[in-house]
Amino acid sequence: MTGSLSLRCGGRCYSLVLSDRGWLAVELLRYLDEVLEAEERPVAILKLLGLTMEVGSAPPPREAHHWIEVDLDALRLASNSSLVRKAVKRLPPSHGDPVTVTTLERIYSILDRFDFTAELYPSQDRG
């Protein structure tokens, strides 16, 4: 299962594309508050996404099973991930979901605390 996580900040889009274990994009989202609270957001993004990310003016195509786009300037999250949907709607993970209730609760808490707008798109995964 594929995944992607894109963070837009200061006119740049930092993206991590996962060819396998795409749900890890959702796990990384639980650390969004650390990026939002950092004095140097680009440095915090580099620490979160590591050296395998792409830096460009736009996120990758929305082709992954779990794609997530976060605009840090506009406080907007867009995703097709059923796991992100569960976090936004405060639903527990289903049996077999690769994330814990703690992950989903933390994501909801961050989105709520920073007053994010969430745009949820149809899911391509089976979770």
Q: What is the pLDDT of residues 40-80, one digit of tens each?
A: 999 999 999 885 677 889 999 999 999 999 999 999 999 99
**Please, what is the average pLDDT of the chain?**
92
Q: What's the pLDDT score for residue 104? A: 97
How far, in Å, CA of 104 to CA of 108, rounded? 6
Q: What is the pLDDT of residue 125?
A: 59
Strand segments (E) across the chain: 3-9, 12-18, 54-56, 66-71, 76-79, 117-120
Q: How high is the pLDDT of residue 100?
A: 94
The reported pLDDT for the residue numbered 21 is 87
Checking DSSP bridges between strand 76-79 and strand 66-71, what pairing results, if any? antiparallel
pLDDT at 127: 47
Q: How confident is the model at residue 109 (pLDDT cuts 50, 70, 90)?
A: very high
Task: Write down the pLDDT at residue 45.
Answer: 94
Domains of the chain: 3-120 (3.30.420)
